[in-house]
Amino acid sequence: MKGPGFEDIATFFTGTVRVWLRNALVFQKNIRVNLIPPFIEPLLYLGAIGFGIGAYITDIEGVSYVRFIAPGILAASVMNASFFECAYGTYVRMYYQKTFDALLATPITIQEVILGEILWGATRGFISALSISIILLLLNLASPVGLLIALPLSFLAGLLFSSIAACFSALSPSIDTISYPATLFIAPMFLFSGTFFPLSLLPWFVQGLALIFLPLTHVVALIRGLLTGGPNPFWILNISWIVLGTMVFSFLAIRLFERRLIV
């Protein structure tokens, strides 16, 4: 049996990009509204927690508190933008707008549709990261070189969170049930992945659970190391978790949507 040839791979890539482009064109129609939240949300966190509460906190790991939480806020924003785009957004396009039905009536396959959705979710995460990077540069809270490296890492992290969200979207019987992973999975990650305080302050078994089950932990650790210049002895583990997790959850998302949409 012959494996997929170059033409097959090129066709698959083209279909995936077309799904991504469709979502990008819809995003562009409301670009002003879509770009405002990525700028406002980090300013609120930096102002209220970084500069507000941070005034009462001494330096953490050799940097000021606001510089310590800035990478965590960037990583968490990537998570939120990517996850909710491929959780609620994908579900709406699949169930309410019937976009998937229209796409599948063309030569585009279900695999291309789902990978296009994941790619678009990662793009939303990248846009959020880019918006926050501009703010951090203006406030002199991060190294420009570190931000240049953190941006492609943010896109990779967006692929991870988008693929996880796509799995939940495929499994959810209704749009209301997506609130369960948002509350029971995303919210704990936001609080216990080292976003606002070092993981070392937590009990050892909680640290272990965070490293094993909370992907945001690895994203925060990598971005914080890049933006603050601090040591990160687990960087190989962090990158491996993100890359392998993206591959596993993307494959799982495709299979789950095949079960749901293909009769």
**DSSP per-residue codes, 135-187:** HHHHTT-S-HHHHHHHHHHHHHHHHHHHHHHHHHHHH-SSGGGGHHHIIIIIH
Question: Per residue in 124-136, pLDDT tens?
Answer: 999 999 999 999 9
Give me the pLDDT at residue 217, please.
95
Q: What is the mean pLDDT of the chain?
A: 90
Q: Which residue has the higher pLDDT, 53 or 146?
A: 146
Q: Which residue has the higher pLDDT, 32 or 149?
A: 149
Q: What percent of the chain has pLDDT over 90?
A: 67
Residue with tokens 């909710």: 84
Two tokens, residue 28? 């562009």
**Cα–Cα distance, 222 to 179 (Å, whole number):** 28
Give me the pLDDT at residue 24, please.
94
Buried b (16+ CB within 10 A) or exposed e, 153-166: bbbbbbbbbbbbbb
Two tokens, residue 260? 């749901």
Question: Per residue in 243-253, pLDDT tens?
Answer: 999 999 999 99
Tally of residues, the chain: 263
Local confidence band at 1 (pLDDT 50, 70, 90 cut-offs): very low
Q: Are 53 and 205 in contact (CB under 8 A)?
A: no
Count of alpha carbons within 13 angstroms of residue 189, beta-carbon side:
25
63 pairs with which residues across the strands? 60
Give me the pLDDT at residue 7, please.
54
The pTM for the full model equals: 0.93
Question: Per residue in 64-117, pLDDT tens?
Answer: 899 999 999 999 999 999 999 999 999 999 999 999 999 999 999 999 999 999
Collapsed DSSP state (helix, strand, coil) of residue 63 = strand
Q: What percent of the chain has pLDDT over 70?
A: 95
Q: Are 168 and 186 in contact (CB under 8 A)?
A: no
**Cα–Cα distance, 121 to 127 (Å, whole number):** 10
**Cα–Cα distance, 234 to 95 (Å, whole number):** 41
In angstroms, what CA-CA distances link 193 with 42, 102, 184, 221?
A: 17, 39, 14, 9
**Cα–Cα distance, 70 to 232 (Å, whole number):** 17
Local confidence band at 263 (pLDDT 50, 70, 90 cut-offs): low
Question: Per residue in 154-192, pLDDT tens?
Answer: 999 999 999 999 999 999 999 999 999 999 999 999 999
Residues 6+ apart with CB under 8 A from 255: none
Map out the domains of the chain as residue ranges. Answer: 19-261
Mean pLDDT, range 5-15, rounded to an integer: 67
